[in-house]
Structure 1
Amino acid sequence: MKNARSGDAFAQQKIGEIYLFGEPGTPKNISNALLWLEKYSITTGFIRDISNLIVSNLALDDVLSKEQAKFAWKCIVHSASAGQTLARWLFTQVIFHLNTSGQSSYAAFNSLITTDWSEVGSLDDMFGLALRYLEELADLDSFEDQIKAQKLLAQCLDDGRLGKKDPERSKKIMLHLAKQNNEVGLASLLSLASSSVGKELLPALEIHLPTLLGSKKHLAEHTLIYWAAWQHLQNIEALEIAAELGFSPAQLTLGLRLAKLEEKNSSLENTSEVSETGGNARLKQAVYWLKLAAKKGDRDAWFALGLINRMPQYSGYSAEDSDACFDKAADLGHPQAQYRKGSSLWRKRAQIDEAIEGLQASYWVWQASQQGITEAQELLSKIMLSCPNASLNRWNLLANAVIKTLGESSHRFTGDMLLTCHRVIVANQLNLSKAELLLADIPSIQHEHGAVIDIREHSPRSTPKLIQIETLEQRKALMMASKSFANAFSNSVVDEGNLRQRRYRLEKLMQSLDIAEDGGSEDDTDE
């Protein structure tokens, strides 16, 4: 020790090795080893054997001071550049785990910052070098951690953290790894299963599935693998395990299978087909699994429960429960459930107390028609009027003249007359009568699924109308009219007056635009 402190290089080396390997009475101490070996390197010049010695005995979870970490890193860089395999592996791992601020997640190097790394070389160069080393190690059959290197390379190519992004190559590497019958292979299979599983994964599934099925404890992290085994290998045991692990698509599928409801037809109203491979229906078990999926918001599960509750052979038969399940499925957006609900409301419209007959039914039928249910579109045409072609409507000439005038001079019409202009435009798009043009409450016409025209407040003998909004021009006309009415009523107190006053403004508008009213006189409304 005395000789080492006095600068004897040989003594410094020996003390460093004693701390590095440990001896009786002197435990291993990587910090002291680095201290003396660094002194030795300063005394004699940097020697490759010393750097290789340090690399071979350095653990990334060793806690080092900043100076010791800088020296250890220089050793890794020196040995890596000289071709030592382990040094290149350590180099790659350290660079891979650097965060955006240049700090390492490894204890040995987390004291270093960006400027410390740059003493050896720029970080950009190190990223490129790490990728090159990693690719070499991944192809090196003699490297004992080759599989780990391949997995790390796939991750780097997937997220591009080492400066190169190649998802396709990353997937190919993962597919290769997934066929390894070990933990890395299983982890690779799980990673691929979490994104998408295609036929290319079938060999890996077949390799790992027997081990997973034979396990005494099934882990939730393997759920997607079990689900993939059902989807691609039709393994019923895997399906049951996925359902038991709480995977709602598996719970839904198992419930439909037990109830003999083919999953592919679960969204159809007439779902009653029985799977040829299903066996006897165990409806109570089916209900158990479907309820679990339904509680997680699965609309198909709610719909299937609605069907089962109407099966005569089900001991829990209940039309009321069935309707409740269909309603829940409709609320969650199930198209056939929406059609069922809408058609039921339409059949019972005479018994329902609603301000406008068929309004609720039209909403649900419209929702179903938007999702491509042909029957819904047919029923909607019976509930709601359709007028998509404005050029065929009564007010077309006047509306076109108003639109042209407003386009040429937006300030020509103001106040009440401007509101009358918008009434004309809306009336033409929705093919309204004269009374409806004059009396409709424009801001409240538009609903999500269509237009509601109700002037019974002014004309008790009139009949409300439900009109489909089918074109962009119709929505634009209603939007602009609502905006104008909102501005008018927010800026000042606007009173459009009674029917005579409104009719007078309409006639004045037609005279100013030199447009004659089509259709002669009309008994518009009661006053």
Structure 2
Amino acid sequence: MANREELAIIRNARAGQAAAQLELGKLYLFGSAGLPQSLPTALHWLERAARQDCRPAWQLIGNHIPLALAQPGAAALAPWYERAYDDGSVHAGLVFAQLVLGDGVSGAAIPAETAVLAKALRALEDAARAGFPDAQWLLARRRDAVPVRPAGTGAPVSAQGWLRRAADSGVAEAQSAVLDQAWTAGHWDDYLVRALPLARAVVHMAASQDGIHRLAPGDIALLSRVARLLDEGRGTDIRHGGPLAPDEALCFWELAAAEHDRYAQLAMGLRCARMGVDGRRIAAGGGAANFKKAIRWLTLAGEQGLAQAWYALSRIYIKPEFSQRNVADAQRYLERAAEMGYRDAQLECGHNAWRARRENENNDVRAVYWLQKASAQGSTEAQALLRKIAPRLSTPPYAETGKLLAGHEKLLQAHPLLQARLELAGLFGLSRAEALLLDVPAADHGHCLVVDIRASYGRSKRRLVLVDTAQERHALDRIARLFEGIDCGPSGPEGNYRQRLYRLRTLVGSAGKTEDEGDAAAEIGLAA
């Protein structure tokens, strides 16, 4: 309860006396025997005193009233922080800059003239140079800001430089930003120097809490990344602030895996299986493999979208030493990894389908599907096998048919189906018999064209042609729509092979006689 002297100060302050308002503001700012400490009340009386040009009042506001309390009245309070900064208070300059510039990214928090913005930037840089982490972090985020400084006050510091200073000062957001930059750029040594002490602190904190509290996502990613680099031997030639403890990387993996980090779960599964992702045995950790634990961890990682985990599971299920060896399960996990885009799995699926083509001749279509996907990811082995399975033939019988279309477009306009067949021959290198007899809708498998006319032309062989480009895909879609609902067999509107061949020769003349057909009626068993 206020004493007699304090009651007199209150009366005089309410009467508008600047000295009493300043004194009452001090009492509420620091607390007294009769009045409790109250920063909002202190700000109220100090601000009233400052309006009466009381210099100590705005100095107290600038040095003691925090940003959070000043933000609701930023426009009215910013001038007092500015005056306190002019009087030499770096802290007041920092709050002034924060009120004027806002978060440093979206622009000014209050409307301000160019001169005021430049002054706020100078105040922010002064605070940053004085070692205020918040100022350093704010400057780091203002990548487009160029502080206007008087001559001879020091060289300007880049946004990246302020970011590193803020990280060194312990600003968590800045530390996270610097670590993300180092990780993205592949600066592993720099990452480990900064990240390893932080990872050890996370482990110590988790141990002290005895697993009661969950780790933050950033801490989990930190543990996983540090463990990954240590497993790769990246941290052997740098000073990390102390030697590595035995199995320290394993400790990081275990903690991150328990917090559902998929990369940590993959690493734990491979450690338990004593193998790499490709199934090859490794000696890390020694001892026998524990496939039961490995399957548990790898399944958890796979369910979180990690294709390598499913691929590793497929390697486990085909191991002879695994008591529950199951080839069907191995194939199922392999295809799951391939569907998720894992290149090695796609390549192996392609090999498996190609080897099984004698069981089902359509397996070559499946093989081409997976090999094309692996090839798109840069697999030279897949590219070589594709050239073997589905070569684009360029010998005269396969190159000349498509050329018949050139120079005869007007003649062929009256026969759109024949024109479309010749266009198809030019796109995919079809022989004359293939072009005339191909069942276009049935041949289109999306990623490839299955050319199979053996039922009508005994000398032919079944083969595949890849659909390589978007242009080929669009053209094939257009031509396939033209043949929708049309019988492509001998009883259809195009007639039998002899009739189609006769129509072609009639329209294009001797150019259609480039391929020796022999006795067509005898070979295809059709009457004229």
CA–CA separation in structure 2 for the residues paired with 1:343 and 1:101: 54
CA distance in 1: counterparts of 2:71 and 2:284, whole angstroms: 67
Question: Counterpart of 1:452?
Answer: 450
Pairs within 5 Å for 1:160-309: 160=144, 169-176=158-165, 178=167, 184=170, 188-197=174-183, 198=187, 199-215=189-205, 216=207, 217=211, 219-220=215-216, 221-234=218-231, 235-263=249-277, 266=278, 271-275=279-283, 278-309=286-317
Q: What do the CA deviations read for 1:304-324 (whole angstroms, capped 9, x no partner)?
A: 111111222222222222222
Deviations 1:174-232 (A, max 9, x none): 4455556xxx2665444433454321133223433433333314724312221232233
User: Which of 54, 57, 69 in structure 1 is aligned with 2:61?
Assistant: 54
Counterpart of 2:437 in structure 1 is 439
Q: CA deviation at 1:52?
A: 0.6
Out of 52, 76, 82, which is 2:81 matched to? 76
Q: Of the two structures, which has the highest relative contact order with CA contacts closer than 8 Å and spacing of 6 or more?
A: 1
What are the residue-to-residue correspondences of 1:259-408 with 2, within 5 Å? 259-263=273-277, 266=278, 271-275=279-283, 278-352=286-360, 356=362, 358-387=364-393, 389=394, 392-394=395-397, 396=399, 399-400=402-403, 402-403=405-406
Residue 88 of structure 1: CA displacement? 0.8
Pairing 1:97–2:92 present: no
Asked if 1:519 corresponds to 2:515, the answer is yes
Could you list the per-position Cα deviations for residues 403-443 of structure 1 after superposition, in whole angstroms to 9, with x for gaps in the alignment?
4565xxxxx35754344233213213433232321232335
Counterpart residue identity of residue 308, structure 1: I
Equivalent residue number for residue 475 of structure 2: 480
What is the deviation of 1:401?
5.8
Which deviates further from its counterpart, 24-33 or 125-134?
24-33
Distance 1:41 1:186 in 2: 36
Between the aligned partners of 2:516 and 2:42, the Cα distance in structure 1 is 108
Q: Deviations over 1:444-469 (max 9, x none)?
A: 5443432122446x728576633233
The structural deviation recorded for 1:283 is: 2.4
Name the CA distance, whole Å, in 2 between partners of 1:276 and 1:15: 71
Distance change (3 Å), C-alpha of 1:343 and 1:70 = closer
Counterpart secondary structure, 1:515: helix
**SS of equivalent residue, structure 1 residue 452:** strand
Structure 1 517/163 Cα, relative in aligned 2: closer, same or farther at 3 Å? farther
Select the residue among 135, 143, 161 that pairs with 1:149. 135
Residue 462 of structure 2 corresponds to 465
Q: Which amino acid counterpart does residue 519 of structure 1 have in structure 2?
A: E
Whole-angstrom distance in 2 between the partners of 1:39 and 1:374: 78
Q: 1: distance between equivalents of 2:107 and 2:203?
A: 44
1:409 corresponding residue in structure 2: none
**1:177, 1:188 within 8 Å by CA — same for their partners in 2?**
yes
Residue 328 of structure 1, CA deviation: 1.6
Aligned equivalents of 2:398, 2:199: Cα separation in 1: 70
Distance 1:421 1:290, change over 3 A: same
AA aligned to 2:372 is W
How far residue 289 of structure 1 moved from its aligned partner, in angstroms, is 1.6
Q: Is the 8 A contact 2:412 2:419 kept in 1?
A: no
SS of equivalent residue, structure 2 residue 450: strand
Cα gap change, 1:357 to 1:465, in 2 (>3 Å)? farther
* Secondary structure, aligned partner of 1:228: helix
State the AA in 2 paired with 1:304: A
Superposed CA deviations along residues 234-263 of structure 1, whole A, max 9, x for unmatched, are: 322222222222211222123223323235
CA displacement at 1:58 relative to structure 2? 1.9
Correspondence for 1:88 = 93
2:511 partner letter: I
C-alpha distance in 2 between matches for 1:56 and 1:47: 15
Secondary structure class of the residue paired with 1:135: helix
Looking at structure 2, the residues matched to 244 and 482 of structure 1 have their Cα atoms a distance apart, in angstroms, of 50
% identical aligned pairs = 26
Q: Distance in 2 between matches of 1:311 and 1:398?
A: 52
2:166·2:174 contact (CA, 8 Å) conserved in 1? yes
Q: What amino acid does structure 2 have at the position aligned with 1:86?
A: H
Find the residue that maps to 1:314 and give its secondary structure: coil
Do 2:128 and 2:136's aligned partners in 1 also have CA atoms closer than 8 Å? yes
Q: Secondary structure at the match of 2:68?
A: coil
CA–CA separation in structure 2 for the residues paired with 1:470 and 1:139: 62
TM-score with structure 1 length normalisation?
0.75
Q: Which runs of 5+ in 2 are unaligned?
A: 1-9, 148-156, 232-248, 486-491
Match for 1:56: what amino acid? Answer: N
Please give the alpha-carbon distance, in whole angstroms, between the structure 2 residues aligned to 1:425 and 1:416.
15
1:502/1:477 Cα in 2 relative to 1: closer, same or farther (>3 Å)? farther
Q: Over residues 15-36 of structure 1, what are the superposed CA-to-partner deviations in whole Å (9 max), with x where a residue is unaligned?
A: 5555555555555566665555
CA distance, structure 1, for counterparts of residue 124 and residue 70 of structure 2: 25
